[in-house]
Amino acid sequence: MAKVIKLRKGLDINLKGKAIEETASVKCPDEYALVPDDFTGVKPKVVVKEGDVVKVGDALFVDKLHPEVKFVSPVSGTVSQVERGDRRKLLSIRVKPDGKQDAKEFDVKGDVKSLLAESGLFAFFRQRPYDVVANPEDTPKAIFVSSFNSMPLSQNFEYVLKGQEKEFQAGISALSKIAKVQLGVSAKQTNPALTSAKDCEVTIFDGPAPAGNVGVQINHVDPINKGEIVWTLGAEEVIFVGRLMTTGKVDLTRTVALAGSEVKAPKYYKMLVGQKLTTLLDGNVNMEDSRVINGNVMTGVKTCADGFLAAHATEVNVIPEGNHADEFMGWIMPRFNSYSTSRSYFSWLLGKKKEYTIDARIKGGERHMIMSGEYDRVFPMDIYAGYLIKAIITGDIDRQEALGIYEVAPEDFAIAEFVDSSKLELQRIVREGLDILRKENA
């Protein structure tokens, strides 16, 4: 029987615009793109040039430090642009599709790790510490997979899994040949493909966000000590692996949740990694004074409407920007439609089921203080979050290590950032701290 872990710290935020469980298709765009910035910690080296013809699974760029790790095209077609920015930084490699989806075939009978690196699927693995693309030369003590996301407006993976249970199990079985697989399942999930998955250890988590974060699950199941390495992989990316193992071909099709208060009909759409977002947003979204977020509303990246679906994104959220908000009499009003974590507004009287529309305004300036205990009440890891943030800000590396920086990723601080009265960009601070530590330990 699976172990059940009850988490009491955290915060569920009920936002308007959840995706209904209905899947639609989108038209094929005229261009796809692979963006190196989606793969944290990679130094890209381009291996194609404009005009080259590629198949699905052909490499577009590799990691300079680990050239065996390839980053592959999601479509077959012609390389239309190698886009570079300042100091010739690689911004994206764009491919014009031919509509055929001719795919490169791989031999699935060999070493699993080598197969994943050659096929481009190893690029989706991340490691703790540092939360960067994993190094295939390392031997992790475990591979962690979270089958749910507890953040607001997130994808319902149990719905996405329907009809793909065999591929998911094939992916788990393949991962088990590399290291022990730890599968985190929500107490609300009932699909036997999750609760009774084979070749892995299943742990059930019951609690508010961020219970679905793989970092929280690692902390409660098998914490990372200095010198240890853990790999993580998204649940839908396990299906990518399963498709490869069963067909010998790469298929980077995702079921993406288009959600948010500015979406006319929030639901799910079949898309490829790197697909142009205009195919998803046109006609579906009120773009006036709206913010498009590539990924989750709490952890994603602000993008433009003609951007491309990020490599790890399982949802695209659209919320009001708030540039033209007009609040009559400001904070004096009772605000029955405004959300507050501290019961500053009377809206808390309406119960937890009330849905809120929250815009992108910070509503205050950055303060040079951190309120004691403010992060800890929504941070369900055995880590003193406030002290860790202070250690990162002051550059105290020894204290950072003692306080558990090797276990965390920026997304673990998303809820703490939301409730932070000092308006600090905690996710950015944690990312910078991890990058500095990685350079120090290189």
Q: Classify the phi-psi angles of 100: left when phi > 0, otherwise alpha if psi is within -120 to 50, otherwise beta.
A: alpha
| CA gap 60, 91 in Å, rounded | 13
| CA gap 315, 236 in Å, rounded | 12
Say whether 99 sits in a helix, a strand or coil. coil
CB 173 within 8 A of CB 198: yes
Helix axis angle for 112-119 and 235-247, nearest 10°, is 100
- β-pairing, 181-186 vs 142-146, is parallel
CB 76 within 8 A of CB 103: yes
Between the CA atoms of 312, 103, 238 and 63, what dihedral angle is there, to the nearest 10 degrees?
-50
Q: Which of 177, 184, 280, 167 is nearest to 232 (CA)?
A: 184
CB 59 within 8 A of CB 36: no
Query: Averaged in consecutive runs of 10 residues, what is the pLDDT profile of the chain (442 residues)?
Result: 93 96 94 98 97 98 96 98 96 97 96 97 97 96 98 98 98 98 98 98 98 98 93 98 98 98 96 97 91 98 95 98 77 75 76 89 85 94 96 96 96 97 96 96 85
Q: What is the pLDDT of residue 330?
A: 67
Helix axis angle for 426-441 and 385-394, nearest 10°, is 60
Token pair recorded at residue 325: 């908000």
CA distances from 164 to 4, 180, 308, 394 (A): 25, 22, 25, 47
Contacts of 372 (CB under 8 A, 6+ apart): 386
Q: Facing residues of 316 across strands?
A: 258, 295
CB 347 within 8 A of CB 311: no
| CA gap 335, 304 in Å, rounded | 31
Q: What is the pLDDT of residue 332?
A: 66
Q: What is the pLDDT of residue 356?
A: 93
- β-pairing, 132-133 vs 126-128, is antiparallel
| CA gap 223, 219 in Å, rounded | 4
- β-pairing, 77-84 vs 70-72, is unpaired
Q: What is the pLDDT of residue 326?
A: 72
| CA gap 158, 336 in Å, rounded | 33
User: How many CB atoms are closer than 10 A to CB 226?
Assistant: 10
pTM across the whole model: 0.96
Helix axis angle for 235-247 and 165-175, nearest 10°, is 90
Cα angle 26, 28, 33; round to 5:
110
Q: Which domains does the chain have, with CATH numbers?
A: 30-247 (3.40.50), 376-441 (no CATH)
User: How many CB atoms are closer than 10 A to CB 442?
Assistant: 6
Contacts of 424 (CB under 8 A, 6+ apart): 366, 370, 389, 417
Peptide bond into 266 cis (omega under 30): no
